[in-house]
Amino acid sequence: MTNKVARGAPRPPSREDKQHETSLRVQRSAVSLVLEHGFDHVTVDMICSQSGISQRTFFNYFKTKTAAIIGPEPQSIDETRARAFIAAPGADLLPDVLVLMSAIGPRTGIDEQLFADRVRVFGMHPQLMQQQMERMFRVTSEVGELVYLRLGRESSGDAESDADRAFRHDQAQLLTHAMLGVVRFMAAQWVPSHGCPADAAGDDSGENSGDDAGRTTTPTLAESLTRTIELLRHTLGTVGL
């Protein structure tokens, strides 16, 4: 008698799935502990205890306490995505750059609560934000180079002057850094509306359900980013700016 997985049944988690879940659990524990105790008072032992893992397992995932708090290194942009971005139709770069930058994020998408709590940690400990920005420099360089190539699709090759190439390079760098600024601005606006950290959340027993019915639904991260882009478009189009 053979054991077959029923059609439509969820597949069992793979080893990669389990590793991703462990990494995420460690990150959540590290960030929540920093929010509760402060960076200097959190130890690897505390993170391991809350995550339910050994120190050996911890160091298989993260080299330091700081790495667990900040999160994994940003991924490089693979060649397929890079080629698709350069060849994409249309001249509207803003949404395409955002899609490109999203490729460096977690493979299963952003955990909104973890993202919000991590931004709060950065606000409490600016040195951690600085380390994150230094890690993002490599990604910024990659995106800037791809934007440069995208802007140069219509250039006439050898007929393009050094001054034109330098101008295009500056345009690409400006747009890339501007988009990083957009993301930071969006995070600063979105995190307060996202509410308190998970372990400080209020009671959901329904006691205030009447009041909740009249409240505006908190926008998702993607919705907030879209709104920020529209704000940027409107601002850039303002006469006299």
Return the exposure string of 199-236: e unless at least 16 CB atoms fall within 10 Å of the residue's CB, then b: eeeeeeeeeeeeeeeeeeeeeebeebbeebbeebeeee
- Establish if 131 belongs to a structural domain: yes
CA angle 15, 16, 17 (to 5 degrees): 90
Reported as a single tens digit per residue, the pLDDT across 187-208 is 777 777 665 444 444 444 444 4
Q: What percent of the chain has pLDDT over 90?
A: 33
190 shares a domain with 150: yes
CATH of the domain at 36: 1.10.10.60
Same-domain check for residues 169 and 83: yes
Say whether both 51 and 103 belong to one domain. Answer: no
Instruction: State whether 153 and 225 are in the same domain.
Output: yes
User: In total, how many domains does the chain have?
Assistant: 2
Q: What is the pLDDT of residues 10-56, one digit of tens each?
A: 667 787 889 989 999 999 999 999 999 999 999 999 999 999 999 99
| pLDDT at residue number 12 | 77
Q: Residues 23, 56: one domain?
A: yes
| 20 and 126 share one domain | no
Q: What is the pLDDT of residue 93?
A: 82
Query: What is the C-alpha separation between 172 and 179, in angstroms, rounded?
Result: 11
Rounded to an integer, what distance in angstroms lies between the CA atom of residue 87 and that of residue 81? Answer: 10
pTM of the predicted model as reported, rounded to 2 decimal places: 0.69
DSSP character string of the chain: ----PPTTPPPPPPHHHHHHHHHHHHHHHHHHHHHHH-GGG--HHHHHHHHT--HHHHHHH-SSHHHHHH-SPPPPPPHHHHHHHHH-SSS-HHHHHHHHHHTTS-TT---HHHHHHHHHHHHH-HHHHHHHHHHHHHHHHHHHHHHHHHHTTTS-GGGS-HHHHHHHHHHHHHHHHHHHHHHHHHHHHHHHHT-S-GGG----SSTTHHHHTTSPPPPPHHHHHHHHHHHHHHHHTSTT-
Highest mean predicted confidence (pLDDT) among 43-52, 94-103, 152-161: 43-52
Domain containing residue 26: 15-70
Calpha distance 110→98 (Å, rounded): 14
Same structural domain, 52 and 102: no
Same domain, 112 and 140: yes
Same domain, 148 and 232: yes
Give the separation between CA 58 and CA 63, rounded to whole angstroms: 8
Considering the domain boundaries, does residue 113 fall inside one? yes
Residue 2 lies in a domain: no
- Asked whether residue 224 is assigned to any structural domain, the reply reads yes
User: Does 225 map to a domain?
Assistant: yes
Do 192 and 86 fall within a single domain?
A: yes
Asked whether residue 84 falls in the same domain as residue 168, the answer is yes
Domain assignment of residue 60, yes or no: yes
Would the pLDDT of 133 be above 80? Answer: yes
Q: Which residues contact 187 (CB under 8 A, 6 or more apart)?
A: 115, 119
Residue where a domain stops, chosen among 52, 70, 88: 70
Structural domain includes residue 10: no
Indicate whether 172 belongs to any domain. Answer: yes
The reply to whether 59 and 167 lie within a common domain is no
CATH number for position 99: 1.10.357
Structure tokens at 157: 């090759």
- Look at residues 41, 70, 99 and tell me which one is the last residue of a structural domain: 70
Instruction: Determine which of 93-97, 106-110, 128-132 has the lowest per-residue pLDDT on average.
Output: 106-110
